[in-house]
């Protein structure tokens, strides 16, 4: 009886602690010939190795062309992904895919919407230069059965109206989808710095993981332009979380390199969160 009581006590203590969820936001840089030595084939092994080393539970990517997504899918063997190409809702154009550790999580619900006036079908929004999307999923832990929403996006690089309206649309969608008030995470390349209207709007409703983290590390910025010898100060990639049900224990910008070269022109944002 004493052993049984001890086991029950230990289980109660364990359940009182939160569940760690590791998340990465990674603009992997699309494959273009003009990048020369920094072209995808010259850095894809380093980039995928970096992901395998840190082993995020979820990774939201940006600028993933179909063949880049397929490469990551083939080498990141414990991961599967959700998401579609932004140009046709299938396999054309860049993906804002979410990779998830299939050994730990399964998707309960998933979809992609377009950052436009017609979010349910492919199309250009407002004054944007390109089609833009937000991919999302509701994921359940295979062991604990705890659930968490993950949203991942890539804002337009030119359209100011589009970026403000995109922020409003994503906040609206999160509110509509998250009817059970579950914890959630929003990752992405927002193409905007902290003092912009859109980022201020999002940060007024959600927690900026860098601002609330118990521990931070790495450069202030998230865009290096492949320029190894210059400070990284421009912050345009973020991981936001819900105000409740989740805390941010660690936040980092991972400036890993090899032979004075970066795996992408955006170092990934990496956060360790805890579900309550």
User: For residues 269 and 9, what is the distance between their CA atoms, to the nearest angstrom?
Assistant: 38
pLDDT band at residue 17 using 50, 70 and 90 as cut-offs: low
Which strand (E) or helix (H) includes residue 49? helix 44-54
Model pLDDT for residues 244-272, shown as the tens digit of each residue: 999 999 999 999 999 999 999 999 999 99
Q: For residues 59 and 162, what is the distance between their CA atoms, to the nearest angstrom?
A: 25
Tokens linked to 110: 């998933």
The pLDDT assigned to 9 comes to: 42
> What number is the average pLDDT over the span 1-16?
44
More confident residue, 14 or 117: 117
From the list 201, 267, 259, the residue with the least C-alpha distance to 233 is: 267
CA distance 59 to 81: 9
Residue 141 has pLDDT above 70, yes or no: yes
Give residue for tokens 């030595």. 37
pTM: 0.94
CA atoms of 48 and 55, how far apart (whole Å)? 10
CA trace torsion 118, 123, 129, 135 (10° rounding) = 80
Domains of the chain in sequence order: 18-275 (3.60.10.10)
* Burial of 53 per CB tally in 10 Å (0-12, 13-18, 19+): exposed
Give per-residue pLDDT as tens, 26-79: 999 999 999 999 999 999 999 999 999 999 999 999 999 999 999 999 999 999
Task: Collapse the DSSP code of 191 into the 3-class scheme (helix H, G, I; strand E, B; otherwise coil) and give the result.
Answer: coil
Mean pLDDT of all residues in 114-120: 98
Q: How many other CB atoms are found less than 10 A from the CB of residue 7?
A: 10
Q: CA 38: distance to chain centroid?
A: 23
What DSSP character marks residue 225? T
Residues paired with residue 240 on neighbouring β-strands, in sequence order: 186, 208
């Amino acid at each position: 009886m004493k052993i049984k009581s001890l086991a029950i006590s230990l289980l109660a203590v364990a359940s009182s602690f939160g569940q760690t969820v590791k998340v990465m936001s990674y603009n992997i840089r699309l494959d273009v010939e003009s990048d020369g030595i920094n072209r995808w084939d010259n850095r894809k092994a380093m980039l995928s190795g970096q992901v395998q080393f840190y082993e995020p539970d979820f990774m939201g990517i940006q600028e993933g062309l179909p063949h880049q997504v397929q490469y990551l899918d083939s080498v990141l063997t414990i991961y599967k992904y959700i998401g579609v190409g932004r140009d046709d809702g299938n396999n054309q154009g860049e993906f804002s895919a979410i990779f998830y550790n299939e050994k730990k999580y399964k998707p309960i619900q998933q979809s992609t919407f377009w950052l436009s006036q017609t979010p349910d079908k492919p199309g250009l929004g407002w004054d944007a230069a390109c089609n833009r999307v937000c991919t999302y999923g509701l994921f359940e832990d295979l062991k604990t059965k705890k659930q968490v929403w993950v949203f991942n996006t890539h804002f337009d690089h030119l359209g100011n109206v589009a970026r403000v309206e995109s922020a409003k649309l994503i906040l609206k969608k999160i509110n509509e989808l998250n009817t059970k008030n579950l914890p959630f995470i929003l990752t992405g390349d927002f193409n905007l710095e902290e003092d912009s209207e859109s980022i201020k709007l999002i940060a007024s409703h959600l927690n900026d993981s860098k601002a609330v983290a118990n521990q931070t590390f790495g450069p202030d910025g998230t865009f290096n332009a492949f320029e190894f010898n210059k400070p990284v100060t421009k912050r345009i990639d973020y991981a936001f979380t819900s105000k409740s049900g989740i805390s941010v224990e660690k936040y980092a910008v991972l400036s890993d390199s090899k032979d004075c070269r970066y795996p992408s022109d955006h170092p990934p944002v990496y956060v360790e969160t805890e579900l309550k």
